[in-house]
Amino acid sequence: MAYLLKGVSILGASPTDLYIADGVISDKPVDGAEVIDAAGLVALPGLVDVHTHLREPGREDAETVDTGSRAAALGGYTAVCAMANTSPVADTAGVVEQVWRLGREAGLVDVQPIGAVTVGLAGKQMAELGAMATSAANVRIFSDDGFCVADPKLMRRALEYVKAFDGVIAQHAEEPRLTEGAQMHEGEVSTRLGLTGWPAVAEEAIIARDVLLAEHVGSRLHVCHVSTAGSVEVLRQAKARGVRVTAEVTPHHLLLTDELAAGYDPVFKVNPPLRTRKDVEALRRALLDGVIDVVATDHAPHAVQDKECEWSYARPGMLGLETALPIVLSVFGPQWDLIADRMSIAPARIAGLDGHGGDLTKAGTPANLTLVDPSVQRVVDPAELASRSRNTPYAGMTLPGRIVATFLRGEATVLDGKAVK
Ligand SMILES: NC(=O)N[C@@H](CC(=O)O)C(=O)O
Ligand SMILES: [Zn+2]
């Protein structure tokens, strides 16, 4: 199928005609191309998420590779990295290949499996990182996300191991002794609500340790869901010294604060927890100045019984794929170059996903892109989400931006705001 995006604005530039044929951007008119009236629409390189929980295998009641892929495409994504905290854990070549194959079958986004760092995410014994790296899934990112690789010797060995093939360890930075029993951010609000707090230093201490380990080994570290102003300062110093560290921030940490816990609605329970206004502002500045490299959703679907219960019993995590771009647009406005870099180009580079995050003005670039209508305001209705779960913290909120179409290697996965298959 060939397409002509008529009058499209590439990253906010003046309107032009963009042709897609044979899976790539074409610089000459293509006969018989299907014409899409793209006046007023902005083309972005397809979004790439380095932190998605797809829940398959094991919790198909919360999400599957298929439903999660659909949510991703509808959110403007063309690639997602699937976290390893499934059941069984993605700690062998067999499981990562299964997830990779399910992604291919769904065919809506490129699903790039992340492998566990330790067997069963138990933090005791290194998983077979090499076998996962050389498997069909071609794993490059390893993470025990959900848990921190707390043992410094294991962390060091993992960093050393992946250096051989330029892999990266993505750390969920949480010193477990400092977060025992934690229910929310430790501060004024937790004191008032009588909930045990997760102190900012539990995150910052691990990041400080890990940038030193990464520096010592000369290997690549990626920090998941950075949530505090202090973490930003640790990262700023490490980057200034040339440490090979990258970092992500979630849409919810860019917008929401710990005050939301006051209603005890578990939809706002997440790890790391929502922090303070001061943290939110520091994270926004860090994304703007590049100390934080990417926006990652940490899309964390949960079944109703795991979320609609008493706060302390509820699982942490919130949906993200279908609302990420609207949230980022609402926070930063139409800064298209920034959005393209932090949500597509930089994440594709971190994940080693060639073909994503390409230059849409160049002929021959793989046609992975999304078309956004920034003029539309939409109310988030959980019932309309493609995800199998409903735990969005944005229900009822009016957000800017509608994903009109998404293309994966030149094939439409979303047209007119609807998934094609
Ligand atoms: N973010 C969360 O609160 N939960 C994630 C795990 C994680 O990303 O730490 C999950 O798998 O549900
Ligand atoms: Zn995590």
57 is in an annotated binding site: no
Atom of ligand 1 nearest to the CA of 147: 9
- The half-sphere exposure of 160 on its side-chain side, counting CA atoms within 13 A, is 9
* pLDDT tens by residue, 118-173: 999 999 999 999 999 999 999 999 999 999 999 999 999 999 999 999 999 999 99
211 vs 220: CA distance, rounded Å:
9
Q: What is the mean pLDDT of residues 377-387?
A: 98
Confirm or reject: Cβ of 270 under 6 Å from ligand 1: yes
Mean of pLDDT over the chain: 98
Confirm or reject: Cβ of 55 under 6 Å from ligand 1: no
Confirm or reject: Cβ of 298 under 6 Å from ligand 1: yes
**Is-catalytic flag, 37?**
no
| Residue-level pLDDT at 421 | 87
Confirm or reject: Cβ of 358 under 6 Å from ligand 1: no
* pLDDT tens by residue, 74-130: 999 999 999 999 999 999 999 999 999 999 999 999 999 999 999 999 999 999 999
Ligand of minimum distance to the alpha carbon of 250: 1
317 is in an annotated binding site: yes
349 vs 345: CA distance, rounded Å:
6
166 is in an annotated binding site: no
Atom of ligand 1 nearest to the CA of 269: 3
140 vs 160: CA distance, rounded Å:
14
DSSP state of 299: B
Of all protein residues, whose CA lies closest to atom 4 belonging to ligand 1? 317
| Residue-level pLDDT at 193 | 97
Q: How is 8-55 classified by DSSP, letter by letter?
A: EEETTPSPEEEEEETTEEESS--TTPEEEE-TT-EEEEPEEEEEE---
| Residue-level pLDDT at 311 | 98
Ligand of minimum distance to the alpha carbon of 301: 1
Ligand 1, pocket-test mutation among 298, 302, 306, 387, most atoms within 8 A of CB: 298
Q: How far is the CA of 302 from the centre of ligand 1 (A)?
A: 10
| Residue-level pLDDT at 290 | 98
Q: Are 88 and 119 in contact (CB under 8 A)?
A: no
Q: What is the mean pLDDT of residues 230-251?
A: 99
| Residue-level pLDDT at 254 | 99
Provide the b/e sequence for 133-146 (b: ≥16 CB within 10 Å): bebebebbbbbbbb
298 is in an annotated binding site: yes
DSSP state of 388: S
Q: How far is the CA of 111 from the centre of ligand 1 (A)?
A: 18
Q: How far is the CA of 224 from the centre of ligand 2 (A)?
A: 6
| Residue-level pLDDT at 197 | 98
Confirm or reject: Cβ of 273 under 6 Å from ligand 1: no
DSSP state of 168: E
Of all protein residues, whose CA lies closest to atom 8 belonging to ligand 1? 146
73 vs 395: CA distance, rounded Å:
20
Other beta carbons less than 10 A from residue 52's beta carbon: 29
Confirm or reject: Cβ of 114 under 6 Å from ligand 1: no
Alpha carbon of 347 to those of 165, 258, 300: distances in Å? 18, 27, 18
Confirm or reject: Cβ of 145 under 6 Å from ligand 1: yes
Domains and CATH numbers, the chain: 46-356 (3.20.20.140)
* pLDDT tens by residue, 314-325: 999 999 999 999
Atom of ligand 1 nearest to the CA of 271: 3
362 vs 105: CA distance, rounded Å:
29
406 vs 24: CA distance, rounded Å:
14
313 vs 191: CA distance, rounded Å:
19
Q: How far is the CA of 172 from the centre of ligand 1 (A)?
A: 9
What dihedral do alpha carbons 141, 144, 150, 154 form, nearest 10°? -60
54 is in an annotated binding site: yes
Ligand of minimum distance to the alpha carbon of 84: 1
Residue the block writes with tokens 């002509």:
4
**Nearest one of 129, 128, 99 to 113, comparing CA atoms:** 99
- Among 298, 306, 381, 416, the active-site one is 298
> CA 262, 263, 267 angle in degrees (round to 5)?
105
Ligand 1, pocket-test mutation among 145, 222, 389, most atoms within 8 A of CB: 145
85 is in an annotated binding site: yes
Q: Is the dihedral of CA 352, 355, 358, 363 positive or negative?
A: positive
Ligand 1, pocket-test mutation among 51, 52, 53, most atoms within 8 A of CB: 53
Of all protein residues, whose CA lies closest to atom 6 belonging to ligand 1? 146
Other beta carbons less than 10 A from residue 28's beta carbon: 7
Tokens of 281: 């502002």
Q: What is the model's pTM? A: 0.98
* pLDDT tens by residue, 323-370: 999 999 999 999 999 999 999 999 999 999 999 999 999 999 999 999
* pLDDT tens by residue, 30-78: 999 999 999 999 999 999 999 999 999 999 999 999 999 999 999 999 9
Confirm or reject: Cβ of 171 under 6 Å from ligand 1: no
